[in-house]
Amino acid sequence: MPNTPTDTIAAIATPPGSGALAIVRAGGGGAAAVARAVLGKALPPRRAVLARARDSAGDIDQVVSLFFPAESSPTGEDLVEITCHGSPYIQKRLLKALLEAGARAAEPGEFTRRSFCNGRMDLAQAEAVCDLIAAGTGAAHRSALSQLEGGLSRDVDALRAPILGLLTHLEACLDHPEEDIPPLGPAEAKARLTGLEAPVARLADSFRTGRLLREGPRVCIVGRPNAGKSSLLNALLGCERAIVCPEPGTTRDTIEEPCDLDGTPAVLVDTAGLGHDCACAADAESLRRTQRALRSSDVAVLVIDGSRPPDARDEAAHRALREASAEDRRPVLTVLSKADLAPRAPAAAGGCRVSVLRGDGMAELRSLLARTLGGGAGAACAGGAAVTCARHHDALRRCLARLGEARACVDSRPGCWEELAARELREALAALDEITGPAAPDEVLAGIFSRFCVGK
Q: What is the CATH number for 364?
A: 3.40.50.300
> At how many degrees (to 10) do helices 138-148 and 123-134 cross?
160
For residues 25 and 160, membership in a common domain is answered with no
Name beta bridge partners: 22. Answer: 84
Q: Are 405 and 424 in contact (CB under 8 A)?
A: yes
- Residues with Cβ within 8 Å of 105's Cβ and at least 6 positions away in sequence, in order, are 9, 10, 11, 95, 99, 454
For residues 296 and 354, membership in a common domain is answered with yes
CA dist 316 and 49 (Å) reads 72
Nearest to 385 by CA among 435, 439, 429: 435
Decide if 215 is inside a domain: no
Q: What is the pLDDT of residues 48-96, one digit of tens each?
A: 999 999 999 999 999 999 999 999 999 999 999 999 999 999 999 999 9
For residues 247 and 112, membership in a common domain is answered with no
For residues 366 and 227, membership in a common domain is answered with yes
CA dist 363 and 53 (Å) reads 53
For residues 230 and 359, membership in a common domain is answered with yes
Side chain identity, residue 444: V
Question: Measured between alpha carbons, how far is residue 444 from residues 2, 147, 439, 452 in Å?
Answer: 12, 19, 10, 14
Mapped onto helix, strand or coil, the DSSP state of residue 314 is helix
For residues 98 and 149, membership in a common domain is answered with no
Question: Measured between alpha carbons, how far is residue 328 from residues 40, 54, 219, 230, 420 in Å?
Answer: 66, 63, 14, 25, 39
CA dist 348 and 353 (Å) reads 10
CA dist 376 and 370 (Å) reads 10
Decide if 358 is inside a domain: yes
CA dist 204 and 208 (Å) reads 8
Side chain identity, residue 408: A
Q: Record the pTM.
A: 0.72
E strand or H helix that includes residue 270: strand 264-270
For residues 92 and 157, membership in a common domain is answered with no
CATH label of the domain that carries residue 113:
3.30.1360.120
Q: Is the dihedral of CA 143, 149, 150, 151 positive or negative?
A: negative
Decide if 449 is inside a domain: no
Nearest to 376 by CA among 320, 447, 289, 298: 298
CA dist 454 and 456 (Å) reads 6
Residue 212 burial by Cβ neighbours in a 10 Å radius (0-12, 13-18, 19+): buried
Looking at the structure of the chain, the number of domains it has is 3
For residues 19 and 115, membership in a common domain is answered with yes
CA dist 456 and 449 (Å) reads 9
Instruction: State the DSSP string of 38-64.
Output: HHSS---BT--EEEEEEETTEEEEEEE
Of 72, 88, 122, which closes a domain? 122
Of 374, 395, 421, which closes a domain? 374
For residues 363 and 230, membership in a common domain is answered with yes
Mapped onto helix, strand or coil, the DSSP state of residue 236 is helix
Decide if 316 is inside a domain: yes
pLDDT tens, per residue, the chain with 456 residues: 445 567 999 999 999 999 999 999 999 999 999 999 999 999 999 999 999 999 999 999 999 999 999 999 999 999 999 999 999 999 999 999 999 999 999 999 999 999 998 999 999 999 999 888 888 777 788 888 999 999 999 999 999 999 999 999 888 877 776 666 777 788 888 899 999 999 999 999 988 778 777 777 888 888 877 778 888 888 888 777 765 555 555 555 678 888 877 767 788 888 876 655 555 666 666 667 777 777 777 888 888 887 777 777 777 777 777 776 776 677 888 888 887 776 555 545 557 888 878 878 888 888 888 888 765 454 444 445 689 888 999 999 999 999 999 999 888 877 778 889 999 999 999 999 999 987 676 777 777 787 777 777
Decide if 455 is inside a domain: no
Decide if 442 is inside a domain: no
For residues 310 and 337, membership in a common domain is answered with yes
Domain containing 155: what range? 132-206+387-436
| Tally of CB atoms within 10 A around 287 | 17
For residues 346 and 423, membership in a common domain is answered with no
* 79 phi and psi angles, rounded to 5 deg: -140, 130
Decide if 451 is inside a domain: no
% helix, strand, coil for the chain, step of 5: 50, 15, 35
Decide if 450 is inside a domain: no
For residues 189 and 297, membership in a common domain is answered with no
Beta strands in 297-360 (DSSP E): 299-305, 332-337, 352-353
Name beta bridge partners: 335. Answer: 303, 352
